[in-house]
Structure 1
């Protein structure tokens, strides 16, 4: 006599499904709570601080006084000009150089792994170590760059002491320190392009530059536009490189950025309301730029 297969216990599948979903939701809730505590709460707190002033342990609402304070500061407009200058220079170098490096690495059939490691190595170095390296390179007395200029019988330069060169020197250091990640992203996008497109371009007589312009750039347009947005947002918040290389302000305030001015308000002047107000202005600017980018991207895809 054939034994009957026992029926599953009532609600067994439902219990297992509920337990499995509860576990997933528990992980999801934990991630949301961490994100809320470390991201949303500071933004809300900054928004409140921008309209408050704390003196003698008492907090009072001051309306737009903190915004007026930062707006009337002579360093306000200089910090914005320096930040925009850094962003433009960083886009010229930091956006183009990683893409060119990715194109060059993609042309190699062998040793791509070693080249990827080589280009990503600066990202793995601690920022302080990278800054010390560039301080040695830029040193006016025994720096390597001035030594090379001397060998070429060219005048030596005050790389970090000259107001006309200090920002460019910071941009070069920042590009070297941060280009590895962008290069790997571009390289991954390039390796996803079908080889038939390049073969068809070669049959049409296209050279290297025409293949890059007519095949590579269109095929990586989404990645390029996304990296452009991310780089603008990142460079507008630059702090580490000018702070470590030039002490923040630089010669004649030439490397004073918006985030460094926020740092000064908060930790040098103990004016957290003004620091929060300036941070709120930067947040609104970057949020508006990101919203405009998303809207333009949707209109192009439509």
Structure 2
């Protein structure tokens, strides 16, 4: 019998092989893997940036330049502040601003309060909320032209439904779109109905996030409906209300579709001429693109200043 060997065998199964250590990754390997992994996301991001650059940022930069230029004979020339002076001395300039501010104030009274009240009413229903949300949002899904045709029928002085109702109530008929004193209010009512669905759903989502214990505590304290709305609902939705107020002011200051389709833009005695409609006239009726860009620049500066001041005051109030 052979004597056991004192030298361990390299093939001894009792001794595991030493672990194999991986070498350092090649330079740039991790970055390449990350890029490949997120290639789809980067592709969508680049596409969005290109769309914003082509359809949003470039027109804004072009408007800044065009506001100080004059177009004609197939070229452009710098004119300094001449376009701003042209716009400022236009008799329709101040009337357009007054009409726009009037539309904004009326839209805040109706278009800001009505969606919030509607959301509170819908939130009280325990059944059929899905149908009610669809019903409220339905006007937003309709094409603007269809909605305007509907309101033109309602406002018609001859066979309109509103005048029919006034006749049933033995009240005098109204020239809703032909009367300078009623034309802007009629446009605001139509605009509120056409655009209130989105705001109502946003308010409704905010209301459903309020804890029910707060309302129960208010009821134990003897609070009625109005006190619960004022002391519970409004404070709990203050952030959403502030954001929607800012968005509505910015949107209503740029109103164009409703007065353009309902009253032809200017309206009786220029009562519905807005700033954006005046921009449209300068560009497409007078072929004065420099003046249109100058007026658009004034509107942009005003809205940017208002937004900055509003955000600053809101932050100061929160602190």
Q: Give the TM bin, normalised by the shorter chain.
A: over 0.9
Match of 1:75 in 2: 92
Match of 1:293 in 2: 310
Matched, 1:258 2:256: no
Match of 2:126 in 1: 109
Larger radius of gyration: 2
> What are the Cα deviations for residues 103-128 of structure 1, in whole angstroms up to 9, with x where unaligned?
00000000000000000000000000
Q: Given the two structures, how large is their TM-score scaled by the length of structure 1?
A: 0.96
Instruction: Please state whether the residue corresponding to 2:151 is helix, strand or coil.
Output: helix
Instruction: Please state whether the residue corresponding to 1:32 is helix, strand or coil.
Output: helix
Give the deviation of 1:13 after TM superposition.
5.5
Match of 1:146 in 2: 163
Match of 2:111 in 1: 94
Matched, 1:215 2:232: yes
Instruction: Please state whether the residue corresponding to 2:77 is helix, strand or coil.
Output: strand
Partners of 2:152 and 2:298 lie apart in 1 by: 32
List gaps (5 residues or longer) in structure 1: none
Partners of 2:139 and 2:223 lie apart in 1 by: 35
Give the deviation of 1:5 after TM superposition.
9.8
Give the deviation of 1:203 after TM superposition.
0.6
Judged with a 3 Å threshold, the aligned counterparts in structure 2 of structure 1 residues 252 and 21 are, in CA distance, closer, same or farther, namely: same
Give the deviation of 1:3 after TM superposition.
10
Partners of 1:96 and 1:18 lie apart in 2 by: 49
Q: Given the two structures, how large is their TM-score scaled by the length of structure 2?
A: 0.91
- Out of 23, 27, 41, which is 2:44 matched to? 27
Give the deviation of 1:32 after TM superposition.
1.5
CA RMSD, aligned part only?
A: 1.8
Instruction: Please state whether the residue corresponding to 2:139 is helix, strand or coil.
Output: helix
List gaps (5 residues or longer) in structure 2: 1-12
Partners of 2:53 and 2:67 lie apart in 1 by: 20
Match of 2:297 in 1: 280
Q: Indicate the structure with greater helix content.
A: 1
- Out of 194, 209, 213, which is 1:177 matched to? 194
- Out of 33, 41, 44, which is 2:58 matched to? 41
Match of 1:226 in 2: 243
Match of 1:242 in 2: 259
Match of 2:8 in 1: none
